[in-house]
A and B are shown apart, each in its own frame.
Chain A
Amino acid sequence: DGGITQSPKYLFRKEGQNVTLSCEQNLNHDAMYWYRQDPGQGLRLIYYSQIVNDFQKGDIAEGYSVSREKKESFPLTVTSAQKNPTAFYLCASRASGTGEQFFGPGTRLTVL
């Protein structure tokens, strides 16, 4: 059963804490992406990775960090430096040479 998974579905965090969101894919895709979605808004790109051990900042990278040690995994850490982290976070992957992105189900992060 191929696809892209994100965990957890819901995450609560206290102010000042770092938290890591998981994203795993078994589609053998080279490229992976993290987006943030706020209510009534489109998706904004946080970080992306075209290949293992390489990643680039997107449009709103401040307060976030990522790693890409394995092809299948692209975890996102929301640090305490992110001023307004409450949002819906979406991970996606894409096969090389294609345009279509496949999305995970998302993680809803709430800062208490």
Chain B
Amino acid sequence: SQQGEEDPQALSIQEGENATMNCSYKTSINNLQWYRQNSGRGLVHLILIRSNEREKHSGRLRVTLDTSKKSSSLLITASRAADTASYFCATATTGANSKLTFGKGITLSVRP
């Protein structure tokens, strides 16, 4: 079963607006990561937030993590048409054989 569940499934916004995507998970994690995928391509890592962190920034990206609610959000500010892609959250569990479990993804469309 998939650990992360993203919300909404699809999001369409105008260029310049902010995009907020949410992810919920079920079990304890070591870290949570967000990835981006352009159509037909491999995934690109965007940002990693550890279980003891609450907020992290990278350029126009802001990620928050609430371990009490088992949820995370990804905010893309001042969106651009080039941000159009699918976005996935992935959780890494604790333990020596830590592996990532991905959600089904959010399709973001940014209209020029």
Contacts and interface: CB of A to CB of B under 8 A. Distances in A.
Interface in A37-76: 40-45, 48, 50, 56, 58
B102 A43 contact: yes
Contact of B42 (A40, A42, A105): A105
> Counting chain A CB atoms within 10 Å of each CB, which of B4, B31, B44, B45 scores highest?
B45
Contacts of B44: 103
B42 A104 contact: yes
5 contacts: A42-B4, A99-B31, A101-B100, A104-B42, A106-B40
Ranked 6 nearest A-B pairs via Cβ: A103-B42, A42-B102, A43-B102, A42-B104, A103-B43, A100-B45
A108 B44 CA distance: 18
Interface of A: 33, 35, 40-45, 48, 50, 56, 58, 88, 90, 92, 99-106, 108
B99 interface: yes
A104 B37 CA distance: 11
Given A99-B31, A100-B33, A33 B41 contact: no
B105 A42 contact: yes
B25 interface: no
A105 B97 contact: no
Contacts of A103: 35, 42-44
B48 A99 contact: yes
Interface in B69-102: 88, 90, 92, 97-102
A99 B43 CA distance: 14
B99 A45 contact: yes
Given A42-B2, A56-B97, A90 B33 contact: no
